[in-house]
Amino acid sequence: MTTPLASPASTDRVITVTHLRQWLLAYAERIFAQEAYLTDLDAAIGDGDHGANMVRGMRKVRDWLEHEGQQSADMGALLRTVAMTLISSIGGAAGPLYGAFFLRAAKDASGQQSITLAQLARICQGGLEGVQQRGKAQVGEKTMIDALHPAVAALAAAVETGQPLAGALRAACDAAQQGMEGTISLVATKGRASYLGPRAVGHQDPGATSAFYLFETALEMMDDGR
Ligand code: ADP
Ligand code: MG
């Protein structure tokens, strides 16, 4: 009599390089669809180029993913190309910052063809540290950190409590959304919006918004009832 295989712990469900590619493509599509919104948010408290900046970078990422990137089986190599593409094609602050996220994530994902939720949480934690090393912003300074930090913390908490992948991504997405919405009431102390002082209050941070889309599209990609 054969013993049925034990079903793997839910946290062992893996994210493959194909998922990663689909996630990045979905993120690119979200950025294209929300360009005008990101531009409006940045026009209110910055210089109105965040939509165009992100579109320029993600269009190059999308083009690469649809051609040469299709062959890439190593998550680290894929994330590294995303990082270099964003750094070289985005002029504004967001380029080097998102670049730092993906470059650090690439280091931690090096040689992997698939990762578990626990690995994803560690990779995202590294990415967050990369952005913070680069931009020196903490939570509460009205930047993308206000969405990234709580999302990464939610992923770590989900690993601790043994949540399934989709549940973990939902928690991360909700946390990023709360963080993004929380920027509305903040005064900016980093980036261009800091020049406005209290006049930035009442406006949502554009970078926190594009960072929220990263987790929203991750959830949409993986939330297939697993
Ligand atoms: P720029 O400010 O050069 O015009 P973008 O408009 O593309 O660049 O990006 C602006 C976003 O970058 C802000 O909304 C904020 O979220 C993010 N940002 C700016 N400075 C920092 C920083 N030091 N750390 C983290 N994020 C930052
Ligand atoms: Mg700008």
Phi, psi of 115 (to 5 degrees): -135, 155
Contact 11, 117 (CB under 8 A): yes
Q: Give the atom of ligand 1 at the shortest distance from the alpha carbon of 53.
A: 7
Mean pLDDT of 213-221: 95
**What single string gives the DSSP state of each residue in 101-162?**
HHHHHHHHHTT-SEEEHHHHHHHHHHHHHHHHHHH---TTSSSTHHHHHHHHHHHHHHHHTT
CATH code where residue 182 lies: 1.25.40.340
Asked whether residue 194 is assigned to any structural domain, the reply reads yes
Asked whether residue 8 is assigned to any structural domain, the reply reads no
Please tell me the distance from the alpha carbon of residue 120 to that of residue 38, in angstroms, as a whole number. 27
Asked whether residue 10 is assigned to any structural domain, the reply reads no
Ligand 1 touching residue 149 (CB < 6 A): no
Ligand 1 touching residue 146 (CB < 6 A): no
Please tell me the distance from the alpha carbon of residue 195 to that of residue 93, in angstroms, as a whole number. 15
Structurally, the chain folds into a number of domains equal to 1
pLDDT digits (tens, 9 = 90+) for 78-107: 999 999 999 999 988 999 999 999 999 999
14-16 and 114-116 as β-strands: parallel, antiparallel, unpaired?
Answer: antiparallel
Ligand 1 atom 9: residue of nearest CA: 94
User: Where does the chain have alpha helices with state H?
Assistant: 17-33, 35-45, 50-66, 75-89, 94-109, 117-135, 145-160, 165-182, 206-222
The Å distance, Cα 226 to ligand 1 centre, comes to: 35
Asked whether residue 19 is assigned to any structural domain, the reply reads yes
Portion of the chain with pLDDT greater than 90, in percent:
86
Ligand 1 touching residue 192 (CB < 6 A): yes
Ligand 1 atom 14: residue of nearest CA: 207
CA 201 and chain centroid, separation = 24
Q: Give the atom of ligand 1 at the shortest distance from the alpha carbon of 210.
A: 16
Task: Say what the pLDDT of residue 4 is.
Answer: 45
pLDDT digits (tens, 9 = 90+) for 180-212: 999 999 989 999 999 988 998 999 999 999 999
Output the CA angle 203-204-207, nearest 5 degrees: 135
Contact 162, 10 (CB under 8 A): yes
Residue 2 has pLDDT above 80, yes or no: no
Task: Say what the pLDDT of residue 91 is.
Answer: 84
| Burial class of residue 7 in the structure, from the number of CB atoms within 10 Å of its CB (0-12 exposed, 13-18 middle, 19+ buried) | exposed
The domain of 211 spans 15-224
Residue 225's pLDDT band (cuts 50, 70, 90):
very low
Ligand 1 touching residue 128 (CB < 6 A): no
The Å distance, Cα 143 to ligand 1 centre, comes to: 6
Asked whether residue 9 is assigned to any structural domain, the reply reads no
